[in-house]
Structure 1
Amino acid sequence: MSHVVQISTQVRDAAAVRAGCVRLGLDQPVEGEVKLFSETVTGLAVQLRQWRYPVVFNTTTGETKYDNYQGHWGKQERLDEFLQAYAVEKTTIEARRKGYSVTEQSLADGSVKLSLSTGS
């Protein structure tokens, strides 16, 4: 039986963040205090391509903080791309942990279809 799931992403898994960075060819995230334009925040910082300041994830609360100055310091599409990569990686990690095999298909609209199956 097939099930379609849409995920609203909260970033809570550092391993999936690291895997998302690898998937997109980004530098590995850095844990600690990070200065955004007008605020210092603490968390796991990911430097997205062509973003002035990193995106910082608090993996305890799932909260995401960033300052892209309404797109002038970084395009929202780069963050969306990372969140999609994170969601794919997190889903894959959890599915494999529960014994499922995972296949991935990139769709024409930019979305990703994951298929999970059991060994039986």
Structure 2
Amino acid sequence: MSHFTTIQTQIRDLNALQEACTEMNLELKPRADCRGYGGLVRKAPHVIKLKGPYDIAVEPAQEKDGSYGLTTDWWDGHVAKEVGPGFGRLLQNYGIAKTTREARSRGLRTTRKVEADGSILLTLEGGSL
């Protein structure tokens, strides 16, 4: 039997998460249904709508520290195909979006380069850190 699993993350900026979703051609919807195995549905404050049969719920962390957890049903690899195992590609894009937003707010320029191994090199220039 499959079930929803939550992975605690350090997502603290929903605007940066929105940018990451847009980069991946995904939609972050407020107050939506999150689909899981066998037609199971749960309500969530925010849901990343995936193209496959399952979605990702974005819910406040239990610690009430302003961060969010990501909850999904990992059954049969549907979610991993779209966002990477353990949300890897989604979290990478979130980190890039968050860093880029912070850098620009400090007057820095950013350059992004995708390396041969799929990793992303983000360069910050100008201003002062």
TM-score, normalisation: structure 2:
0.70
Instruction: Determine the structure 2 residue equivalent to 1:21.
Output: 21
Q: Could you tell me whether the CA contact under 8 Å between 1:12 and 1:58 is conserved in 2? A: no
Alignment partners' CA distance in 1, 2:76 and 2:22: 26
Any conservation in 1 of the 2:55–2:79 contact (CA below 8 Å)? no
TM-score w.r.t. the length of structure 1 is 0.74
Partner of 1:74 in structure 2? 79
1:67-118, Cα deviation, whole Å (9 max, x unpaired): 12152x3325623222211111111001111221111111111111111122
- Give the stretch that moved more between structures: 34-43 or 16-25: 34-43
Instruction: Give the structure with the larger strand fraction.
Output: 2
Aligned 8 A contact 1:11 1:58 in 2: no
Where does structure 2 lack aligned partners over 5 or more consecutive residues? 1-8, 61-65
- Structure 1 unaligned residues grouped into runs of 5+: 1-8
Counterpart Cα distance in 2 of 1:80 and 1:49: 17
| Root-mean-square deviation over aligned CA pairs | 2.3
Q: 1:96 — aligned with what? A: 104
Distance across 2 between alignment mates of 1:102 and 1:95: 7
Q: Return the alpha-carbon distance in structure 1 between the equivalents of residues 68 and 119 of structure 2.
A: 22
Within 2, Cα distance between the matches of 1:61 and 1:76?
25
Does residue 52 of structure 2 align to residue 44 of structure 1? no
Aligned residues: 109
111 and 92 in structure 1: CA distance in 2 versus 1, 3 angstrom threshold: same
The reply on whether 1:87 has 2:92 as its aligned counterpart is: no
Give secondary structure in 2 for the equivalent of 1:29: strand
Q: What secondary structure, in the 3-state scheme, does the structure 1 residue paired with 2:79 have?
A: coil
Are 2:58 and 1:57 equivalent residues in the alignment?
yes
Q: Give 3-state SS (helix, strand or coil) of 1:86's partner.
A: helix
